[in-house]
Structure 1
Amino acid sequence: MRGGGQRGPPPSATRGIQVAGSETIAARRRFFGDDAVDPASGAVRADRVLVSWFGCASFAVALGGVVFLLDAWVPRGLTAGYVPTTPDEVATLDPAAIFIGHGHFDHAADAGAIALASGAVVHGTAEHCATARKQVGGAELACHELGSAASAPGDRYDFDLAPGLSVTAVRHLHSSRTPRHEGADASTPVRPKPCLCDIRAYRPGRSEAGHLARNLLAPEGGVLLYQFRVGDFTLTWHDSSGPLLDKAPHVLDVLRTLPASDVHIGAVQGYNQFTNGLRDPRSYIEALRPKVFVPNHHDNWLPLITARGEAFVSPLHAELARMPEGERPEVRMLLDRDDYLAPGCLAFDLS
């Protein structure tokens, strides 16, 4: 097993609550739906996979009854209230764990505060853990370190989050621009115009601007892809899509060794879209072989350089049309702001 991989639960991963408080019950019902949460205990249905988007690449997940977060940032800074929740409410979900894909502000800027408030175990590289602790003044946080910024792309880490819930983390690359590809493998550049309308409609205040300024230069700290498995169900998530075909093709070989994904939540917006379109996200999809693909990191979270998710609908379908028809996944497109905290939007049966 590469990269110092290990099995066994990280510290406190199997904690959980027998009876949730009223605020946790209310938050879970808001994120996952009234019919998915026991109104007395706060337990989330263990026979369903429930995923709730709260901006950029951040998701609250209930898998096999275990609640956890993928990334930890409620988008704000150039806007306020664009995503209808707060870090306090996310913490009130009482997640068992927070999985950090990489350490930039738009993925991990609320990790420390949410972990401190909820007791969630942070999972990420040593640098991700250090950044989360720095956010809360050096307070001690439970952290499961998965390598460091110096770990090699392709390194793999295996462990159990809870009984019956296994996790694999794979080191990969952040999105970056590469030279324009020509010929049969060339993809059409994606260059949506910035949508400034949301800055006017959701004007930020001093606290939102200050939060962005304090976290703007947070280090990447390495990039991790995570796959979660319960029974025969497989969920894979990554918050950046790097140029693996050009810089680390062996990582795609590692991804091909993983079980095919029932649901793959993957980043589509990235630096290489301006040169090589959605070629990089397609390479992840081809390697992970999902039944359902859910785009992320494609909403208007930074309106000076981003656009609303609708700008990616046609380019994504055009890119997937390059795959053989029988290998194309079903696309569950998430559109801001309609699909933030939308119970049932991403709900799947465990069978």
Structure 2
Amino acid sequence: MPSSPLTDGLSALTGRFATPPLPRPTLADTIAARRRFFGPDAVDAETGAVRSDQVIVSWFGCASFAVALGGTVLLLDAWVPRGVTSGYVPTTPTEVAALAPAGIFIGHGHFDHAADAGPITLASGAVLHGTPSHCATARKQVGGAELSCQELGSDETAPGDRFDFELAPGLSVTAVRHVHSARTPRDESADGSAPVRPRPCLCDIRTHPPTLGDAGHLARNLVAPEGGVLLYQFRTENFVLTWHDSSGPLLDKAPHVLDVLRTLPASDVHIGAIQGFNQFTNGLRDPRSYVEALRPKVFVPNHHDNWFPVMTARGEAFRTPLHEELARLPEETRPEIRMLLDPDDYLAPGRLVFDLP
């Protein structure tokens, strides 16, 4: 976002809230964090290795997930929600960094997805994946310290462009540039959906009031740039996991991206954003378009919890609209829905465990 009186004022106001770098995790820290996120039975108590015969997914708020995919630990987005509340999500950036991920994948650069990207990358030594803008923002978060960052595309990368690479032996990744959620005119066609307008829930501010440090952290990152939007698909020989942290109005703005998504292998598990700006006009039509294109067996919603209680509601408010929306798909292509509900499903790996064939 360009300099303005608002951004300059926020920078001046919040400079005094600067926090020290996260500590480098020890092996003991990593073992403890992994056992908490992935379950004690899934993690070797001496080495911290995660079992290789499963995919385990652990949600820590908004669109952020820790994933153990065939034994490889990944982070999808890098933000522990806080600032309007404190402690609603029961973890910290220090604990997330202690997971010692092999890679961190940023869907887009807004604060609610990447505000902890720089500190977690620096402390963990992981490779950050994202656009050049995402990498630049992460470096600013740590005062320009050197980070390991794999830049995907450039500022000129267009929606629909894709990037393919190997993350580890037997684990390939495809990233596809798409678009952020945005409000578009009401779709009056048969494909349109009714608006979804849950009432904001201030309840969690009362029970989890923000600390001064968390409020400062939020203020420092509030105007972070989007920097482009990426969807990621992770593939092993016998499992496909797809994740994205925003669902844009592709039907209106970039229908060719749906054609690109249709060329990808069908997803065993699809973790997709359902909360977005277009819900107030076109309901959950946009998330449904991603599900139709990606053809998952299991769909898991994200970005639908009370991460910003002055404008969001708990995930329970989306349960019925999501089931009704996906019920519009033909029965033979309709995925199983694994609904995640805050706060009970934070750091609850038993909700999302999949055996590898």
Q: Structure 2 length as normaliser, TM-score?
A: 0.92
Alignment of 1:212-251 (within 5 A): 212-251=218-257
Does structure 2 retain, via aligned residues, the 8 Å contact 1:72–1:111? yes
Does structure 2 retain, via aligned residues, the 8 Å contact 1:80–1:203? yes
C-alpha displacement at 1:345, in angstroms? Answer: 1.0
Q: 2:343 aligns with which of 316, 319, 337?
A: 337
Letter of the aligned partner of 1:201 in structure 2? T
Letter of the aligned partner of 1:151 in structure 2? T
Residue 321 of structure 2 is matched in structure 1 by: 315
1:301 is the counterpart of 2:307? yes
- Counterparts of 1:182 and 1:144, CA distance in 2: 42
SS in 1 for 2:190: helix
Q: 2:131 aligns with which of 122, 125, 146?
A: 125
After superposition, the C-alpha distances for 1:68-115 in whole angstroms (9 at most, x for unaligned) are 100000000100000000000000011111000000000000000000
Residue 158 of structure 2 is matched in structure 1 by: 152
Letter of the aligned partner of 2:71 in structure 1? G
Residue 278 of structure 1 is matched in structure 2 by: 284
SS in 2 for 1:183: coil
Letter of the aligned partner of 2:27 in structure 1? G
SS in 1 for 2:147: coil
- Counterparts of 1:65 and 1:54, CA distance in 2: 19
C-alpha displacement at 1:205, in angstroms? Answer: 1.1
Does structure 2 retain, via aligned residues, the 8 Å contact 1:172–1:251? yes
C-alpha displacement at 1:148, in angstroms? Answer: 2.5
1:44 is the counterpart of 2:46? no
Residue 30 of structure 2 is matched in structure 1 by: 24
C-alpha displacement at 1:322, in angstroms? Answer: 1.1
Q: 1:163 aligns with which of 165, 169, 176?
A: 169
Does structure 2 retain, via aligned residues, the 8 Å contact 1:77–1:208? yes
Task: Structure 1 unaligned segments of length 5 or more: list them.
Answer: 1-19
Alignment of 1:82-101 (within 5 A): 82-101=88-107
Q: How many residues align?
A: 332
Residue 61 of structure 2 is matched in structure 1 by: 55
Q: 2:266 aligns with which of 260, 265, 275?
A: 260
After superposition, the C-alpha distances for 1:190-215 in whole angstroms (9 at most, x for unaligned) are 00000000011100011011000000
Residue 16 of structure 1 is matched in structure 2 by: none
CA RMSD of aligned residues (A): 0.7
After superposition, the C-alpha distances for 1:310-337 in whole angstroms (9 at most, x for unaligned) are 0000000111111111111000000000
C-alpha displacement at 1:186, in angstroms? Answer: 1.8
Alignment of 1:200-215 (within 5 A): 200-215=206-221
SS in 2 for 1:168: strand
Alignment of 1:132-143 (within 5 A): 132-143=138-149
- Counterparts of 1:251 and 1:80, CA distance in 2: 38
- Counterparts of 2:216 and 2:84, CA distance in 1: 10
Does structure 2 retain, via aligned residues, the 8 Å contact 1:148–1:222? no
Letter of the aligned partner of 1:227 in structure 2? Q
- Counterparts of 2:154 and 2:52, CA distance in 1: 33
- Counterparts of 2:56 and 2:167, CA distance in 1: 17
SS in 2 for 1:226: strand
C-alpha displacement at 1:343, in angstroms? Answer: 2.1
- Counterparts of 1:25 and 1:133, CA distance in 2: 27
- Counterparts of 1:300 and 1:271, CA distance in 2: 15
SS in 1 for 2:121: helix
Does structure 2 retain, via aligned residues, the 8 Å contact 1:148–1:221? no
SS in 2 for 1:185: coil
C-alpha displacement at 1:344, in angstroms? Answer: 1.4
- Counterparts of 1:100 and 1:182, CA distance in 2: 34
SS in 1 for 2:182: coil
- Counterparts of 2:155 and 2:322, CA distance in 1: 31
Letter of the aligned partner of 1:342 in structure 2? A
Residue 13 of structure 1 is matched in structure 2 by: none
Letter of the aligned partner of 1:304 in structure 2? V
- Counterparts of 2:264 and 2:27, CA distance in 1: 38
